[in-house]
């Protein structure tokens, strides 16, 4: 199904997408998307959605299952509390990417803004994954409680990450390419050894990332990554008098 | 470090009545009672007593009596015993004081200074035992006008009177009585307590609120009577969670800790809680204030509409905030942001864990908040666009009637519901050791609360309050809760100062119309 989204409100657009899904459409192409918000919000389906244009705020929020590819940039709060599925963005995204994400994957070819992957969670087989090809802003992985974020910083001319990495983090893993100055870190995280198992994990997602964006993975093989974990699963446990 | 603090309670054991059965030993999770293996006698350490009265209640021979510790510090109105104990504790631990339940500070309770009217001679009262009395109401956004048509092809008078509604109404929550169970999360309270609340809500035709801790699979079947919460920690939020609910509430704040996020102490994050919330077990479940995607009314609107899209506009979206100084303007913003319900929690609202200083000092009483919000929304001509649920220390049906008469659509009760199930307000919810099996995840303690019996107690409470509300309404000559709402002429203030009367917009007692 092809939907020409020109002059369409988010409500009309989502109604069309949902009715397409109800009618058994497995592939939906959205044309002329120009900042419409909430695309595929709360959608429970394995549908494949291709978006041409700039996707608006809350793309894929709460969704469970769809595979969304954006040929363009996306705005704020992408993958908000996403449960399952995949979002691939051929461009950059705004702030608060993957807030409270619970599962599925988000791949961003270029940059992301502040507060990427905050409150990400995981339980057993539910492990959300974010891979970002470019750089990110401050408060990266703040309050992170689970999942994996891989930050590649492929544009060497830019600062790869902002300040306060992993403030309040109490679970999950962050991999950043290269070395990171300690003064960038929040108080609750530190770098730990990047071992062979980590290498396997990173390579697995890198292969998928490179395939999705048609990048040459050879340039990334054997690059050095730094792994970050929370120092303590209970960062604020000691500040109270019981 | 030797503690300088002294006990809160003393436990008197009548040795003539005590049969050394060890019930008290098993009942106390705080270890106030222990069995001395050498002497084979039950020993009591009053320093550990939290005053929950579990042992005294369960003692088969009535041998135990818990009372206040009688040795007092030198009398001092400024530096009283509570202040000293808190100072000692902080000097000994260096910690932020943590507490549970609503504030116990001696603030003026305005409900007790508001008097209700009754009909005498000039307008008749109604006997609710023999005449119909309508407590049913609907929560949600109401259109500013409705269009309807009559089916003139059917000339039977009965059908003509019915009319057919043409306006598509926004989604509504139907409640049989204007009382709902306030948000209490699975994690803060046990699954059995959640079950009891859900069962009671179902039987009473009202709603319970999951709080922000997600929803256990066992409770999905109560979806028709469930309000689910979305807070900054986003625990357990997914499309199934929305499907298992009649409405979704965005939690911005709560009365016991305005400006402070949710905080479930690691002691209560067991394996099952860790699964529901998807966080490591033993960690503190943090729901910080603020939501890091909400920095303005516009951002709130974005989350409201994100949830509306996710629920296909079929479910009302509520926004819960703490009653703070600027509450009228805040509520106006929330309504304009698209919320169908505004829930406001006053300073006496309860909690499973809050910093004592925040709980006892931040926010405003719910009485003033209801009045100022209702007035403001009416002045702005947007009162119909959202219902108001008031929360924060409703103790009895009299408080409920006064709240509705001030302008609320319904109330949330939390503490009163917990007390109905056995809570004795010891304020130790944050320890996870609740001897009454309510605010705990310890399997040994959890099984003390039978969900069926607890549900029965809740149903009884709602039934009793509903009867009382009908009695009060009947006395006023009012036969529908809708006619009571915002009917402030039927209230009088007693022993309130001018500013309070002005904000409440009620006349002083003794002043006629």
Chain A CA closest to residue B234 = A100
User: Domain residues of chain B, as ranges?
Assistant: 9-95, 173-508
Element holding B67 (H helix, E strand): strand B64-68
Q: Do B277 and A62 touch (CB under 8 A)?
A: no
Which residues of chain B neighbour A56 with C-beta distances below 8 Å?
Answer: none
Tell which residue, A66, A62, A63, A78, has the closest CA to residue A110: A78
Residue B160, pLDDT > 70, answer no
Which residues of chain A neighbour B266 with C-beta distances below 8 Å?
Answer: 233-234, 237
Question: pLDDT band at residue B152, thresholds of 50, 70 and 90?
Answer: low
Domain A92-230 = CATH 3.50.50.60: no
Which residue out of A46, A234, A237, A238 would a mutagenesis test of the B interface target, given it has the greatest number of B Cβ atoms within 10 Å?
A: A234
Residue B163, pLDDT > 80, answer no
Distance CA B370, CA A13 (A): 38
Q: What is the mean pLDDT of chain B?
A: 95
Q: Do B232 and A119 touch (CB under 8 A)?
A: yes
Which residues of chain A neighbour B237 with C-beta distances below 8 Å?
Answer: 62, 81, 100, 102
- Residue A11 C-alpha, separation from nearest chain B C-alpha, in angstroms: 7
Q: Do B286 and A238 touch (CB under 8 A)?
A: no
Q: pLDDT of B26-37, one tens digit each?
A: 999 999 999 999
- Interchain CB contact of A166 with B (< 8 Å): no
Contact between B95 and A240 under an 8 Å Cβ cutoff? The reply is yes
Across the interface, of B93, B98, B279, the residue whose CB is closest to A121 is B279
Chain B CA closest to residue A63 = B239
Distance CA B491, CA B406 (A): 8
* CATH code for the part of the protein at B9-95: 3.30.70.20
In degrees and rounded to multiples of 5, residue A10 shows phi and psi of -65, -35
Distance CA B237, CA B276 (A): 9
Distance CA B399, CA A137 (A): 50
Structure confidence at residue B154 (pLDDT): 62
Which residues of chain A neighbour B302 with C-beta distances below 8 Å?
Answer: 37, 57-58, 77
Structure confidence at residue B266 (pLDDT): 87
What is the bridge-based pairing of β-strands A64-71 and A48-54?
A: parallel
Contact between A110 and A130 under an 8 Å Cβ cutoff? The reply is no
Structure confidence at residue B153 (pLDDT): 66
Across the interface, of A80, A102, A171, the residue whose CB is closest to B306 is A80
Q: pLDDT of B38-60, one tens digit each?
A: 999 999 999 999 999 999 999 99
- Interchain CB contact of B265 with A (< 8 Å): yes
Tell which residue, B318, B332, B360, B346, has the closest CA to residue B402: B346
Q: What is the DSSP letter of B73?
A: P
Q: Do A18 and B283 touch (CB under 8 A)?
A: no
- Residue B455 C-alpha, separation from nearest chain A C-alpha, in angstroms: 31
Q: Label residue B303 exposed, middle or buried (CB < 10 Å: 0-12, 13-18, 19+).
A: buried
Tell which residue, B287, B236, B235, has the closest CA to residue B263: B287
Q: Do B266 and A102 touch (CB under 8 A)?
A: no
Q: Taking CB atoms and an 8 Å cut-off, how many pairs form between chains A and B?
A: 142
Helices (H) and strands (E) counted in chain B, each on its own, are 17, 23
- How far does CA B99 lie from the centroid of its chain? 16
B435: Cβ contacts below 8 Å, ≥ 6 apart: B27, B28, B29, B30, B52, B54, B445, B448
Q: pLDDT of B210-262, one tens digit each?
A: 999 999 999 999 999 999 999 999 999 999 999 999 999 999 999 999 999 88
Q: In the Cβ-directed half-sphere of A108, how many Cα atoms lie within 13 Å? A: 29
Q: Do A37 and B305 touch (CB under 8 A)?
A: yes
Chain position carrying tokens 């549908």: A47
* Cis before B290? omega within 30: yes
Strands (DSSP E) contained in B107-252 are: 114-116, 137-139, 148-149, 164-165, 173-175, 179-181, 208-209, 226-230, 247-251
- Interchain CB contact of A67 with B (< 8 Å): no
Q: pLDDT of B301-355, one tens digit each?
A: 999 999 999 999 999 999 999 999 999 999 999 999 999 999 999 999 999 999 9
Distance CA B326, CA B334 (A): 12
Distance CA B320, CA B334 (A): 9
- Interchain CB contact of A64 with B (< 8 Å): yes
Residue B86, pLDDT > 70, answer yes
Tell which residue, B367, B376, B363, B372, has the closest CA to residue B336: B376
Structure confidence at residue B263 (pLDDT): 79
Q: Do A41 and B306 touch (CB under 8 A)?
A: yes
Q: What is the DSSP letter of B325?
A: T
| Neighbouring C-beta atoms of residue B379, cutoff 10 Å | 11
Residue B491, pLDDT > 90, answer yes
- Interchain CB contact of B238 with A (< 8 Å): yes
Contact between A117 and A130 under an 8 Å Cβ cutoff? The reply is yes
Which residues of chain A neighbour B230 with C-beta distances below 8 Å?
Answer: 81
| Neighbouring C-beta atoms of residue A30, cutoff 10 Å | 25
Chain A CA closest to residue B286 = A143
- Interchain CB contact of B278 with A (< 8 Å): yes
- Interchain CB contact of A234 with B (< 8 Å): yes
- Residue B267 C-alpha, separation from nearest chain A C-alpha, in angstroms: 10
Tell which residue, B218, B227, B220, B222, has the closest CA to residue B246: B227
Which residues of chain A neighbour B278 with C-beta distances below 8 Å?
Answer: 102, 121-123, 126, 145-146
Structure confidence at residue A235 (pLDDT): 83
Chain A CA closest to residue B87 = A241
Please calculate the CA angle B463-B467-B471 and round it to the nearest 5 degrees.
170
Tokens representing A161? 């990450």
Q: What is the pLDDT along chain A (242 residues), one digit of tens a residue?
A: 999 999 999 999 999 999 999 999 999 999 999 999 999 999 999 999 999 999 999 999 999 999 999 999 999 999 999 999 999 999 999 999 999 999 999 999 999 999 999 999 999 999 999 999 999 999 999 999 999 999 999 998 999 999 999 999 999 999 999 999 999 999 999 999 999 999 999 999 999 999 999 999 888 877 899 999 999 888 888 888 87
Q: Do B302 and A58 touch (CB under 8 A)?
A: yes
Residue B71, pLDDT > 90, answer no
Q: Label residue B356 exposed, middle or buried (CB < 10 Å: 0-12, 13-18, 19+).
A: buried
Q: Do A168 and B286 touch (CB under 8 A)?
A: yes
Q: Do A38 and B305 touch (CB under 8 A)?
A: yes
| End-to-end CA separation in angstroms for chain B | 65
Q: Do B293 and A77 touch (CB under 8 A)?
A: yes
Distance CA A210, CA A216 (A): 6
Q: pLDDT of B439-469, one tens digit each?
A: 999 999 999 999 999 999 999 999 999 999 9
Distance CA B273, CA B267 (A): 11
ipTM, two decimals:
0.96
Q: HEC string of chain A?
A: CEEECCCCCHHHHHHHHHHHHHCCCCEEEEEEEECCCCCCCCCECCCEEEEEEEECCCCCCCCEEEEEEEECCECCCCCCCCCEEEEEECCCECCCCCCCCCCCEEEECCCCCCCCCCCCCCECCECCEEEECCCCCCCCCCCCEEEEEEECCCCCCCCCCCCCECCCCCEEEEEEECCCCHHHECCCEEEECCCHHHHHHHHHHHHHHHHHHCCCHHHCCCCCEEEEEECCCCCCCCCEEC
Across the interface, of B237, B240, B302, the residue whose CB is closest to A37 is B302
Residue B380, pLDDT > 80, answer yes
For domain B173-508, give the fold.
Answer: TIM Barrel (3.20.20)
Which residues of chain B neighbour A142 with C-beta distances below 8 Å?
Answer: 292
Distance CA B49, CA B34 (A): 12
- Arithmetic mean of pLDDT, B465-493: 97
Which residues of chain B neighbour A168 with C-beta distances below 8 Å?
Answer: 286, 288
- Interchain CB contact of A122 with B (< 8 Å): yes
Across the interface, of A62, A99, A115, the residue whose CB is closest to B239 is A62
- Interchain CB contact of A239 with B (< 8 Å): yes
Chain position carrying tokens 């899904």: A21
Which residues of chain A neighbour B305 with C-beta distances below 8 Å?
Answer: 10, 37-38
Q: Label residue B25 exposed, middle or buried (CB < 10 Å: 0-12, 13-18, 19+).
A: middle
Chain B CA closest to residue A43 = B310
- Dihedral angle over CA of A190, A194, A195, A197, nearest 10: 90
Structure confidence at residue B155 (pLDDT): 63
Structure confidence at residue B157 (pLDDT): 62
């Amino acid at each position: 199904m092809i939907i020409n989204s020109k002059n369409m409100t988010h409500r009309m657009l989502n109604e069309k997408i949902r009715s397409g899904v109800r009618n058994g459409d497995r592939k939906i192409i959205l044309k002329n998307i120009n900042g419409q918000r909430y695309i595929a919000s709360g959608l429970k389906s394995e549908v494949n959605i291709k978006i041409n244009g700039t996707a608006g705020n809350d793309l894929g929020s709460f969704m469970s299952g769809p595979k969304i590819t954006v040929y363009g940039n996306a705005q704020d709060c992408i993958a908000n509390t996403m449960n399952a599925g995949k979002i691939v963005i051929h461009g950059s995204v705004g702030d608060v990417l993957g807030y409270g994400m619970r599962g599925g994957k988000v791949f961003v070819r270029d940059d992301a803004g502040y507060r990427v992957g905050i409150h990400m969670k995981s339980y057993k087989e539910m492990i959300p994954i974010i891979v970002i090809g470019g750089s990110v802003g401050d408060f990266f992985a703040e309050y992170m409680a689970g999942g994996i974020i891989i930050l590649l910083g492929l544009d060497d001319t830019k600062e790869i990450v902002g300040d306060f990495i992993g403030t309040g983090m109490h679970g999950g893993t962050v991999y950043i390419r290269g070395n990171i100055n300690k003064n960038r870190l929040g108080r609750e995280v530190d770098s730990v050894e990047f071992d062979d198992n980590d290498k396997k994990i990173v390579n697995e997602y890198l292969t998928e990332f490179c395939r999705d964006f048609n990048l040459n993975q050879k340039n990334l093989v054997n690059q050095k990554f730094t792994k970050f974990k929370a120092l303590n699963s209970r960062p604020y446990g000691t500040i109270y008098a019981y | 470090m030797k503690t300088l603090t002294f006990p809160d309670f003393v436990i008197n054991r009548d040795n003539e009545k005590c049969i050394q059965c060890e019930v008290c030993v098993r009942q106390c999770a705080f270890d106030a009672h222990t069995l001395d293996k050498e002497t084979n006698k039950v020993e009591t350490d009053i320093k550990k007593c939290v005053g929950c009265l579990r042992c005294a209640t369960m003692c088969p021979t009535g041998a135990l009596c818990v009372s206040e510790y009688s040795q007092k510090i030198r009398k001092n109105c400024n530096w009283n015993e509570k202040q000293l104990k808190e100072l000692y504790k902080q000097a000994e631990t260096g910690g932020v004081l943590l507490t549970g339940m609503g504030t116990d500070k001696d603030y003026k309770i305005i409900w007790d200074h508001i008097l209700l009217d009754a009909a005498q001679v000039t307008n008749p009262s109604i006997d609710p035992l023999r005449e119909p009395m309508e407590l049913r109401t609907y929560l949600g956004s109401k259109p500013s006008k409705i269009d309807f048509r009559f089916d003139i092809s059917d000339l039977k008078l009965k059908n003509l009177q019915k009319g057919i509604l043409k306006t598509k109404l926004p989604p509504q929550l139907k409640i049989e009585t204007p009382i709902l169970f306030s948000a209490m999360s699975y994690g803060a309270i046990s699954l059995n307590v959640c079950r009891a609340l859900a069962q009671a809500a179902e039987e009473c035709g009202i709603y319970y609120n999951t709080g922000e801790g997600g929803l256990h699979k066992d409770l999905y079947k109560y979806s028709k009577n469930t309000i689910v919460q979305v807070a900054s920690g986003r625990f357990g939020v997914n499309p199934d969670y929305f499907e298992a609910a009649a409405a979704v509430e965005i939690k911005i704040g709560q009365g016991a800790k305005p400006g402070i996020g949710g905080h479930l102490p690691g002691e209560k994050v067991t394996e099952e809680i860790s699964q529901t919330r998807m966080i490591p077990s033993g960690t503190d479940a943090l729901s910080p204030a603020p939501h890091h995607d909400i920095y303005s009314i516009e951002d709130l609107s974005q989350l409201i509409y994100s949830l509306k899209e996710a629920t296909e506009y079929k479910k009302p979206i509520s926004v819960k905030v703490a009653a703070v100084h600027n509450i009228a303007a805040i509520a106006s913003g929330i309504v304009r942001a698209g919320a169908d319900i505004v829930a406001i929690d006053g300073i006496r609202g309860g909690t499973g864990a809050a910093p004592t200083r925040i709980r006892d000092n931040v926010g405003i009483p719910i009485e003033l908040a209801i009045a100022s919000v209702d007035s403001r929304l009416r002045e702005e001509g947007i009162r119909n666009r959202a219902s108001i649920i008031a929360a924060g220390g409703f103790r009895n049906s009299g408080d409920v009637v006064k709240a509705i008469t001030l302008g609320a659509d319904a109330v949330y009760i939390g503490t009163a519901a917990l007390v109905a199930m056995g809570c004795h307000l010891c304020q130790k919810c944050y320890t996870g050791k609740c001897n009454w099996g309510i605010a705990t995840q310890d399997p040994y303690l959890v099984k003390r609360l039978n969900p069926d019996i607890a549900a029965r107690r809740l149903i009884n409470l709602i039934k009793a309050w509903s009867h009382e509300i009908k009695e009060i309404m009947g006395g006023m000559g009012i036969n529908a809760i809708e006619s009571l709402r915002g009917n402030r002429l039927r209230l009088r203030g007693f022993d309130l100062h001018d500013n309070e009367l002005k904000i409440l917009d009620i006349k002083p007692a003794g002043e006629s119309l």
